[in-house]
């Protein structure tokens, strides 16, 4: 079948490149350029998220959720700093490239604030939904970028990306705990 032949062809081409790649420059490869481009995308995403989280904290009803967003604002600033370290390790200048996915997710968070009443737990349930969508987007991104870095032999960059990935996962768990702890139940009773 044509598909199989194409797959086999690509695999052997990749293998032969790997052999010559030992003396060639990985930085010139399309994969490396794609990796750097995607780092720019998540860099834009984090830089916008760090501005959105304080607004989400202000909009939250429960002090727990407000505190969780405040905590993650600090952590998100660390994610930005970490990405700058990754760019430095790769000899690249930190640059942001518009991330349409994050722009859309943050727009959704704004709509949730607009569509729910201030001082309600329904507002918080909605904010948690919006925030968890963001965290899952970040988890997917950092998970993939970490494996890219590993594949290209950028071990230090991979370790830094793993640190951020762990923090995004912990944030997601903390948000679930707030939601299932009392927010969802109280929202249901409103």
Q: Site residues (CB under 5 A) for Fe ion?
A: 76, 79, 138, 168
What three-state secondary structure class fits 1? coil
Q: Cα separation of 177 and 126, whole Å?
A: 15
Q: Please say which residue, 109 or 122, places its beta carbon nearer to Fe ion.
A: 109
Cα–Cα nearest to 126, from 34, 48, 190, 80: 190
Do the beta carbons of residue 123 and residue 59 sit within 8 Å?
Answer: yes
Quick check: 125 and 187 in contact, CB under 8 A?
Answer: yes
Q: Which is nearer to Fe ion, 42 or 90 (CB)?
A: 42
Query: Shortest distance, CB of residue 4 to Fe ion, whole angstroms?
Result: 39
The residue nearest Fe ion at its CB is 79
Shortest CB 72 distance to Fe ion, Å: 6
3-state helix, strand, coil in the chain (%, to 5): 85, 0, 15
The Cα 39–Cα 44 span in angstroms is 9
Name the residue nearer to Fe ion (CB basis): 83 or 122. 83
In the complex, minimum distance from the CB of residue 99 to Fe ion, in angstroms, rounded to a whole number: 12
- Using the minimum distance from each CB to Fe ion, give the nearer residue, 48 or 123: 48
- What is the nearest approach in angstroms of Fe ion to the Cβ of residue 125? 19
């Amino acid at each position: 079948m044509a598909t199989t032949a194409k797959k086999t062809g690509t695999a052997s081409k990749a293998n032969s490149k790997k052999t010559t790649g030992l003396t060639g420059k990985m930085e010139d490869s399309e994969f490396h350029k794609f990796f750097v481009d995607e780092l720019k995308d998540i860099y834009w995403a984090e830089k916008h998220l760090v501005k959105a989280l304080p607004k989400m904290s202000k909009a939250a009803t429960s002090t727990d959720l407000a505190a969780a967003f405040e905590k993650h604002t600090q952590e998100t600033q660390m994610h930005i700093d970490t990405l700058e370290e990754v760019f430095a390790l790769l000899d690249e200048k930190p640059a942001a490239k518009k991330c349409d996915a994050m722009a859309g997710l943050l727009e959704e968070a704004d709509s949730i604030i607009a569509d729910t009443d201030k001082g309600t737990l329904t507002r918080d349930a909605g904010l948690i939904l919006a925030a968890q969508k963001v965290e899952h987007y970040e988890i997917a991104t950092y998970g993939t970028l970490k494996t890219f870095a590993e594949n290209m032999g950028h071990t230090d960059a991979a370790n830094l990306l793993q640190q951020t990935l762990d923090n995004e996962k912990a944030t997601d768990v903390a948000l679930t705990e707030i939601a299932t702890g009392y927010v969802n139940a109280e929202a249901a009773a409103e």
